[in-house]
Amino acid sequence: MQPSPVTVPHHTVRFDWRSRLRAAGIHLGLSALVAALAALLVFAVWYPYPYREISGGRDLFLLVVTVDVILGPLITFAVFNLAKPRKELRRDLAVVGLLQLAGLAYGLWTVHMARPVHMVFEYDRFRVVHQVEIPEEVVGLAPAGIPVAPPLGPTLLTLRPFKDAKEDQDYTMAALQGLPLSARPDLWQSYEAGRPQVLKAAKPVSQLTSRFPERAAEIDAALRKAGRDAAQASYLPLIARKAEGWTVLLDSGTAEVIAYLPLDSF
């Protein structure tokens, strides 16, 4: 006589699904909390406005965090089973957590290496320099007092004049081959030192409005927010990592940066 098959009560199966969903939900909540803390670091320190837009920091961070936050709870849902011995279940969950943290750490390291470190006046424009763009062999050439990668976000710098015609030619050729002048620490100087050159190169905002009459309201709104009028402001183009350019609005008397516009004025 054949033994009767063992029947699993319907409520037991349903309870197992509920426990998996509950575990995945808890994991999702914890992952979201960690992601929020990471976002505070990224967007408040490494990529403050407008660099999250200019340097693509927001897109890169969202890609990293979305994959990490979703993948971890899904794996927890797959491996969580109250029928497992408690020691085995704890081990599985610990492995999932460690893998998720390792993935997040690698993602944040990638975001960190791609972060903007300086916005540099490059003779007739501004350019955002990212840590990954600075060759290791020239890192030690930065002037004293100017960190290559400041820990508290990007700073304003200018480029010193070339020492002679040969340096001008050599560095310009290197720039044509893909190494921007702004990514050379040996050319850096403080923003204060280059302030006269910034003011000389800057153009009146009235010219910007004439070139882009359809954006006049946006330009005026940025000036009002900065507490300036068109007569007190000038502008320079900003070279961004993304395809579209930006514009920096400046106080025409002090060269202080007062606003940024997503407008290609080059």
- Summarize pLDDT for 225-253 with one digit per residue, the tens: 999 988 899 999 998 776 578 999 999 99
In a domain, 249, yes or no: yes
Count of Cβ atoms closer than 10 Å to residue 212 Cβ: 16
Shared domain for 191 and 206, answered yes or no, is no
- The alpha carbon of 195 is separated from its chain's Cα centroid by a whole number of angstroms, namely 26
Whole-number Å distance between alpha carbons of 42 and 57: 8
Shared domain for 17 and 106, answered yes or no, is yes
Q: Considering the chain, what is the average pLDDT of its residues?
A: 87
- Residue 73 is predicted with a pLDDT of 87
Whole-number Å distance between alpha carbons of 265 and 234: 12
The model's pTM: 0.80
Confidence of residue 8 (pLDDT cuts 50, 70, 90): very low
CB 169 within 8 A of CB 105: no
Shared domain for 123 and 193, answered yes or no, is yes
- Summarize pLDDT for 161-208 with one digit per residue, the tens: 988 889 889 888 888 888 889 999 999 999 999 999 999 999 999 999
Shared domain for 207 and 187, answered yes or no, is no
- Summarize pLDDT for 62-92 with one digit per residue, the tens: 887 887 788 888 888 888 888 888 888 889 8
Q: Which domain holds residue 53?
A: 10-113
Bridge partners, residue 157, by sequence: 120, 190
Confidence of residue 2 (pLDDT cuts 50, 70, 90): low
Cα end-to-end distance, the chain, whole Å: 89
Shared domain for 15 and 109, answered yes or no, is yes
Give the chain's domain count.
Answer: 3
In a domain, 82, yes or no: yes
